Amino acid sequence: MNFKAIKKILLIKPRGIGDIVLSTIVIDDLKKTYPSAEIHYLTETFAKDALANNPFVAKVHTMEKTEFVLKVVFRLRKEKFDMIIDLWSNPRSAQITFLTHAKYRVGFSYRGRKYAYNILGTSEKGEHHSAEHNLELLKTLGIAINSKRIHFYVSEEESKWAKEFIKSNLSSNRKLIGIIPSGGWPSKRCDAAKWVEICTAIKQKYDAAFLILWGPGDEIDANYIKNILKEDAVLIPEVKIGKLSALIKYCNLVIANDSGPMHISAALGVPTLGIFGPTNPKAHKPYSPNSDYVIKEDLHCIICNKLECPFNHECMKELSVEEVLTKVEPLKLANPLSLTLE
């Protein structure tokens, strides 16, 4: 492989927001190996904001989930990519990669997809974090792994808006804890009543205010939490991912269900505590040094990977608030950016 000939690289990661953020772990070592190459991404349209402000990504190409594959391929062929790295490697992305006819096509050797790639990575998922699984394709290329940084960026305009919102709604002499009741699966969502228990216990120990960071589908839980916590919580307005992320950036701590915003929080360097039940925290926990997770490990059905709980959602309803407090303490509720609002 002629490294100097690589001028344009496409990374494919269609969805979801968290997966795309975690996939940026490959960027630093790609840039070091191919310093003159442009890095592009292909995502589904709804997820492009995960990369909107990334200074290392030259262009984000988008597609619809059900869009005809050849229409996507036609647009990508015009870009004349030297290399395509399919970090998703599902049947659809494999087909897109193959039909672009790029010189170097890199992907995982999952069953039924080997035809699409001329440089094959492992077929195993491994025991590592899902962020680090992306690095397996760099290893296949012989690229040394020197960085495991994930990237997410907030625009100046979004940061300014978030500062003004916090200044207008919260006292600057209180710790600010963001809570994220979102979750892509119903089973991932901690029950609203448990959120109230957690926040009440934290309030008794720390002089903290809570920022309820919600998105589409979270309205009922978010309003319930706000109505119980009253003046100790602020319910943010409906915003897009950029402004939501800017608010996260100014929290002292974020507590979140396993979700895209949880991974954004970790990528921004905010101390993050993930709440887990149906998914494996070893593979999906917040990926940063100043983060942790809680899970009810002694439950017979824990890490079931079911979208809907077939029982009574015991993994969330019976979660120990005391364990949450224990995990919060080492995180220090400390973020040097927090409430620096001058």
Out of 140, 175, 200, a domain closes at: 140
Confidence of residue 173 (pLDDT cuts 50, 70, 90): confident
Q: Does the pLDDT of residue 332 top 80, yes or no?
A: no
One domain for residues 299 and 229: yes
pLDDT of the residue at 80: 97
One domain for residues 8 and 54: yes
Q: Is residue 341 part of a domain?
A: no
* Residue predicted with more confidence, 336 or 47: 47
Out of 140, 168, 189, a domain closes at: 140
One domain for residues 160 and 135: no
CATH of the domain at 28: 3.40.50.2000
One domain for residues 132 and 170: no
One domain for residues 49 and 196: no
One domain for residues 92 and 189: no
Confidence of residue 206 (pLDDT cuts 50, 70, 90): confident
Q: Is residue 151 part of a domain?
A: no
Alpha helices, H only, the chain: 17-23, 27-33, 69-79, 91-100, 130-133, 135-140, 156-169, 192-205, 219-229, 241-249, 260-267, 281-284, 314-317, 321-331
Confidence of residue 333 (pLDDT cuts 50, 70, 90): low
pLDDT of 282-325, one tens digit each?
999 999 999 999 999 999 999 999 999 999 999 999 999 999 99
Q: How far is CA 11 from the centre of its chain?
A: 17
One domain for residues 106 and 185: no
Out of 93, 110, 140, a domain closes at: 140
One domain for residues 239 and 187: yes
Q: Is residue 337 part of a domain?
A: no
Give the percent of the chain with pLDDT over 90: 90
Query: Into how many domains does the chain fold?
Result: 2
Helix, strand, coil shares of the chain as percentages rounded to 5? 40, 15, 40
One domain for residues 136 and 161: no
Q: Does the pLDDT of residue 154 top 70, yes or no?
A: yes
One domain for residues 181 and 319: yes
Q: What is the mean pLDDT of residues 256-275?
A: 97
Beta bridge partners, 12, equal 42, 86
- The overall average pLDDT reported for the chain is 94
pTM across the whole model: 0.94
* Degrees, nearest 5: CA angle 71-73-75: 75
Q: How far apart are CA 176 and CA 202, in angstroms?
A: 11
Instruction: Phi first, then psi: give them for residue 290, nearest 5 degrees.
Output: -100, 50
One domain for residues 99 and 187: no
pLDDT of the residue at 5: 86
Q: What is the mean pLDDT of residues 174-202?
A: 95
Q: Does the pLDDT of residue 335 top 80, yes or no?
A: no
pLDDT of the residue at 174: 83
Q: What is the mean pLDDT of residues 34-58?
A: 96
pLDDT of the residue at 207: 83
What is the residue range of 255's domain? 156-331
One domain for residues 86 and 195: no
Q: Is residue 306 part of a domain?
A: yes
Confidence of residue 134 (pLDDT cuts 50, 70, 90): very high
- Encoding tokens for residue 213? 């960071």
pLDDT of 16-41, one tens digit each?
999 999 999 999 999 999 999 999 99
